[in-house]
């Protein structure tokens, strides 16, 4: 692909970049919360974490 | 809205990157509806017999919160066309153009899967199963089917909002008894007078969107009578936990006084006629306070009261 070509793909505006960044941070925070949740619940339940009671 | 039109939207999404902010995604979760769901689930959790570790209780509440939000997002995805026609909902993220329909659908489905999966893995299967059914009931039975096809839409669909205390109870006990079912019934019979009061003074909105709410289809007078009839069922149901021995006289007194308030307002609604709608507005606002106070006193009486008793024993 030539650097001088017109095909630059999608170029984000500053506002779009800011919106994307805030969404990315929110997804990262959600994933951290999920990991912490599973870690904490494993500590709380111990081996019983593998049991699936009704 | 069909999945075929979603494809067209997706092509558009490729050409134009999303401008949706985190705030738009939070709005998709219907935070105000979610707060009442979380509160009633918390009460179910607090009054259930037996004990639950605080981290497990937090996990259960988080999953119920996310599940309720997911069903809100799915509702906004499907209802974007009619939301755009109503003043109350026109500024929601999808009709406002901030979030594309496909994004709302993906968001709702992802949160549904995670909330149910995590609740089943970390708490118990019964609670997860009821949460899954609640999301299905709200998104499919109410939103996709009943809402646009029958004036009884919010009567049957109201069940979705009544399940959270049962999920909270099931998270602690892994079973269900009559007590959480009674809480379900209280919310179930509370929903029609609460929502129809709003529907009367927002009737033009529903008419414009073609949603067959009871006041639009059967008329204002019939709706006002139905509000009174449902309130007549609701008030004794609201008091019932006390004579059944589930609560102390404190709850009995609060539920009786608040029930009397509901009844007085329902009678005023019955006597009122449009263009006057003050009684409907008062009933709508008071009904929120009614449900909140009933459940708050129930939690203090059974939940926090029980906790205090355990700590001081």
pLDDT at B162 over 90: yes
Give dist(CA B201, CA B276) in Å, integer.
9
Taking the whole predicted model, whether its pTM rises above 0.90 is answered as no
Total domain count, chain B: 1
Give per-residue pLDDT as tens, B36-62: 899 999 999 999 988 889 999 999 999
Among B12, B59, B100, the residue to mutate for chain A (most A Cβ within 10 A): B59
Do the chains contact at B122 and A26, CB–CB below 8 Å? no
Give dist(CA B17, CA B1) in Å, integer.
22
Q: What is the pLDDT of residue A36?
A: 95
Give per-residue pLDDT as tens, B103-161: 999 999 999 999 999 999 999 999 999 999 999 999 999 999 999 999 999 899 889 99
- Quote the domain boundaries for residue B76: 23-312
Residue whose entry in the numeric block shows the structure tokens 């004579």 = B243
Helix, strand, coil distribution of chain B in percent, nearest 5? 75, 0, 25
Give dist(CA B244, CA B241) in Å, integer.
5
In a domain, B113, yes or no: yes
Do the chains contact at A22 and B62, CB–CB below 8 Å? no
B62 neighbourhood in chain A, CB within 8 Å: 37
3-state secondary structure of B123: coil
Nearest to B138 by CA among B120, B162, B103: B162
- 238-297 in chain B: CB under 8 A from chain A: none
Q: What is the DSSP letter of B210?
A: T
End-to-end CA distance of chain A: 58
Question: Looking at residue B132, which CATH number applies to its domain?
Answer: 1.10.357.140
Give dist(CA B300, CA B310) in Å, integer.
14
Do the chains contact at B56 and A49, CB–CB below 8 Å? no
In a domain, B67, yes or no: yes
Angstrom CA distances, B99 to A36, B13, B68, B95, stand at 29, 10, 19, 8
In a domain, B13, yes or no: no
3-state secondary structure of A6: coil
In a domain, B2, yes or no: no
Q: Which residues contact B2 (CB under 8 A, 6 or more apart)?
A: none
Give per-residue pLDDT as tens, A1-54: 444 555 677 888 888 888 899 999 999 999 999 999 999 999 998 888 777 665
The ipTM value here is 0.79
In a domain, B31, yes or no: yes
B122 neighbourhood in chain A, CB within 8 Å: 37-38, 41, 45, 49
Among A24, A25, A31, A40, the residue to mutate for chain B (most B Cβ within 10 A): A40
Contact predicate B163/B176, CB 8 Å: no
If one compares B215 and A9, the residue with the highest pLDDT of the two is B215
Q: What is the pLDDT of residue B277?
A: 86
Which alpha helices (DSSP H) does B97-219 contain, by range? 101-122, 125-136, 153-157, 159-162, 164-173, 178-201, 203-209, 214-217
Among A8, A27, A31, A44, the residue to mutate for chain B (most B Cβ within 10 A): A44
In a domain, B41, yes or no: yes
Q: Which two tokens stand for residue B20?
A: 């949706």
Q: Does B173 touch chain A (CB under 8 A)?
A: no
In a domain, B133, yes or no: yes
In a domain, B49, yes or no: yes
3-state secondary structure of B235: helix
Distance from CA of B168 to the nearest CA of A (A): 14
């Amino acid at each position: 692909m030539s650097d001088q070509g017109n095909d630059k793909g999608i170029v984000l505006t500053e506002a779009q970049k800011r919106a994307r960044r805030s969404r990315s941070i929110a997804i990262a925070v959600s994933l951290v919360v999920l990991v912490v949740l599973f870690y904490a619940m494993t500590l709380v339940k111990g081996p019983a974490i593998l049991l699936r009671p009704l | 809205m069909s999945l075929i039109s979603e494809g067209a939207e997706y092509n558009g999404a490729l050409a134009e990157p999303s401008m949706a902010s985190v705030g738009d995604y939070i709005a998709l979760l219907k935070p105000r509806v979610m707060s009442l769901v979380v509160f009633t689930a918390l009460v179910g959790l607090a009054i259930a017999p037996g004990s639950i570790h605080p981290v497990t209780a937090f996990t259960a509440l988080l999953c119920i919160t996310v599940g309720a939000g997911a069903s809100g997002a799915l509702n906004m995805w499907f209802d974007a066309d009619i939301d755009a026609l109503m003043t109350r909902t026109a500024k929601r993220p999808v009709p406002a153009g901030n979030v594309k329909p496909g994004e709302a659908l993906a968001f709702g489905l992802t949160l549904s899967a995670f909330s149910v999966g995590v609740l089943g893995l970390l708490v118990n299967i019964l609670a997860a199963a009821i949460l899954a059914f609640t999301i299905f009931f709200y998104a499919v039975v109410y939103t996709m089917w009943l809402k646009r096809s029958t004036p009884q839409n919010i009567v049957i669909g109201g069940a979705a909002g009544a399940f959270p205390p049962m999920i909270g109870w099931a998270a602690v006990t892994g079973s269900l008894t009559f007590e959480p079912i009674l809480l379900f019934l209280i919310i179930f019979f509370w929903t029609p007078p609460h929502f129809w009061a709003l529907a009367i003074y927002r009737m033009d909105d529903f008419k414009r969107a073609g949603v067959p709410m009871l006041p639009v289809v059967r008329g204002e007078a019939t709706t006002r009578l139905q509000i009174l009839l449902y309130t007549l069922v609701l008030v004794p149901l609201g008091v019932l936990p006390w004579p059944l021995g589930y609560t102390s006289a404190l709850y009995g007194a609060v539920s009786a006084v608040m029930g009397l308030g509901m009844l007085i307002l329902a009678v005023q609604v019955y006597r009122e006629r449009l263009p006057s709608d003050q009684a409907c507005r008062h009933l709508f606002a008071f009904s929120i306070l009614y449900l909140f106070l009933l459940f708050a006193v129930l939690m203090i009486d059974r939940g926090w009261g029980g906790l205090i008793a355990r700590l001081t024993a």
